[in-house]
Amino acid sequence: MTFTANQIAVLINGKIEGNPDSVVRSFGRIEEAQQGQLAFLANPKYEEFIYTTKASVIIIGEKLDLKQPLQATLIRVADPYTAFASLLHHYQQIKTQQLQGVQQPSYVSPSAKKGDHVFIAAFAYVGDESEIGNNVKIFPGVFIGNNVKIGDNTLLHPGVKIYHDCTIGKNVTIHAGTVIGGDGFGFAPQQDGTFKKVPQIGNVIIEDNVEIGSNATIDRATIGSTIIRSGAKLDNLIQIAHNVEVGNNTVIAAQAGVSGSTKIGKNVMIGGQAGVVGHIQIADGSKINAQSGVSKSIKVPNVAVTGSPAFDYTSALRSQAISRNLPELEKRLSDLENQIKQLLEEKANMSQL
């Protein structure tokens, strides 16, 4: 596909400096882009490359002052990173919209309902009474169980598994290997030391505009629903346990885990490898540092925590500073002890005179 600088500027509401008819056919990083490619500059530390890149079109900030003239056509925008992300989104939509129809071999239940412009790739399975919205794209190896509802414009990458009775909203992207609606980890301990499985009869509800990375697992509720609210973004390799609720626009980085029945507020940021125990609440706007272990509720909004067990981020930094000074403090304490010992000896000698 080819685009002119003018077409790109219209899509991202930018202002052109240079030739509006400059053509690009692909994207490139600014430090290595070639002629016919589009690049962008958002981070000032890469500014040096704008003077050496061979890119035909470059998206830059509207306030960036150039130190020398450029041959490339420039498109100035308020936020280059957001503009570039928006452009990639348009590009991806154009590519996926070309995919339509049902490839064979695949299985779509006669009782399932499909919207317009749906794509179902080979080796996919769609169960009884399921509903697939308009423009949904289902790639090879996807399993959709019975009575699953999938909203418009949702994209299911290869190998995604969605168990029965789950609901997926509109404009959702789920990456390869993720499992939605597997059983929650529910086992009742018995007097003889064994465990009796507690049937997990709830479901998972994923609201609109959610993105979930590869090989994540979101367990179905014991009773009721595990809920991922609209706008949430989950990275790869994340475990969300039964009856958890993740709030609007919350982001969770890779390898984090949230135990059962915990309620996470909106606009929360959880770093990689963080762990959150069950049956607690995380207030809106909380920030949980990577590898932190959250063992009790965070009740005050917009608080940052770190460590295991996690506690206030600023206090943790002060504690770390003190810890780094412990060798010097130990030496000073030893010197003080020696001085006191010497003074006591001198006092004892004086008393004997």
pLDDT digits (tens, 9 = 90+) for 146-168: 999 999 999 999 999 999 999 99
Helix then strand count (H, E) for the chain reads 4, 40
CB contact at 8 A, 180 and 166: yes
Residue 153 covered by a domain: no
* Strand order through the sheet with 179-182: 107-108, 125-126, 143-144, 161-162, 179-182, 217-219, 239-240, 257-258, 275-276, 293-294
Give me the pLDDT at residue 341, please.
87
Measured distance CA(120)–CA(136) in Å, rounded? 8
Residue 127 covered by a domain: no
Residues 295 and 343 in one domain: no
Residue 214 covered by a domain: yes
Q: Which domain holds residue 295?
A: 160-309
Known catalytic residue: 242? Answer: yes
Measured distance CA(205)–CA(229) in Å, rounded? 8
Give me the pLDDT at residue 311, please.
65
What is the H or E stretch that residue 235 is in? none
Residue 225 covered by a domain: yes
Q: How many structural domains are present in the chain?
A: 3
Residues 165 and 303 in one domain: yes
| pLDDT at 326 exceeding the cut of 90 | no
Q: pLDDT above 90 covers what percent of the chain?
A: 82
Other beta carbons within 10 angstroms of residue 113's beta carbon come to: 13
| pLDDT at 267 exceeding the cut of 90 | yes
| pLDDT at 127 exceeding the cut of 90 | yes
DSSP string, 102-147: E-SS-EE-TT-EE-TT-EE-TT-EE-TT-EE-TT-EE-TT-EE-TT
Give me the pLDDT at residue 345, please.
80
Query: Averaged over 44-53, what is the pLDDT?
Result: 94
Residue 89 covered by a domain: yes
Residues 43 and 183 in one domain: no
Which pLDDT band, with edges at 50, 70 and 90, does 135 fall under? very high
Residues 244 and 344 in one domain: no
Residues 341 and 240 in one domain: no
Among 89, 117, 175, 242, the one annotated catalytic: 242
Residues 190 and 300 in one domain: yes
Which pLDDT band, with edges at 50, 70 and 90, does 219 fall under? very high
Give the mean pLDDT of the chain: 94
Query: Residue for token digits 């996807």?
Result: 142
Is 58 or 308 the better-scoring residue by pLDDT? 58
pTM: predicted TM-score of the whole model, two decimal places: 0.82
Give me the pLDDT at residue 55, please.
96
Give me the pLDDT at residue 209, please.
98
Measured distance CA(314)–CA(305) in Å, rounded? 8
Measured distance CA(163)–CA(179) in Å, rounded? 8
Reference 161, options 139, 147, 138, 178; nearest CA is 178
Residues 89 and 172 in one domain: no
Residues 166 and 288 in one domain: yes
**CATH code, domain carrying 182:** 2.160.10.10
Query: Averaged over 26-48, what is the pLDDT?
Result: 94
Residue 283 covered by a domain: yes
Measured distance CA(78)–CA(29) in Å, rounded? 20
Give me the pLDDT at residue 83, please.
95
Query: Averaged over 317-322, what is the pLDDT?
Result: 76
Of the residues 82, 97, 112, the one at which a domain ends? 97
Residues 290 and 341 in one domain: no
Residues 168 and 297 in one domain: yes
Give me the pLDDT at residue 113, please.
97
Which pLDDT band, with edges at 50, 70 and 90, does 273 fall under? very high
| pLDDT at 72 exceeding the cut of 70 | yes
Please state whether the peptide bond connecting residue 105 to the residue before it is cis, i.e. omega within 30 degrees of 0: yes
Is 113 or 346 the better-scoring residue by pLDDT? 113
| pLDDT at 131 exceeding the cut of 70 | yes
Residue 336 covered by a domain: yes
| pLDDT at 1 exceeding the cut of 80 | no
Residue 167 covered by a domain: yes
Residues 344 and 295 in one domain: no
Give me the pLDDT at residue 353, please.
63
| pLDDT at 6 exceeding the cut of 90 | yes
Q: pLDDT above 70 covers what percent of the chain?
A: 99
Q: For 205, what's the count of Cα atoms within 13 Å in the CB-facing half-sphere?
A: 15
Q: What is the pLDDT of residues 276-296, one digit of tens each?
A: 999 999 999 999 999 999 999
Residues 76 and 168 in one domain: no
Query: Averaged over 112-120, what is the pLDDT?
Result: 96
**CATH code, domain carrying 47:** 3.40.1390.10
Alpha helices (runs of H) in the chain, residue ranges in sequence order: 5-12, 80-97, 313-324, 326-352
If DSSP codes are grouped into helix, strand and coil, which group holds residue 320?
helix
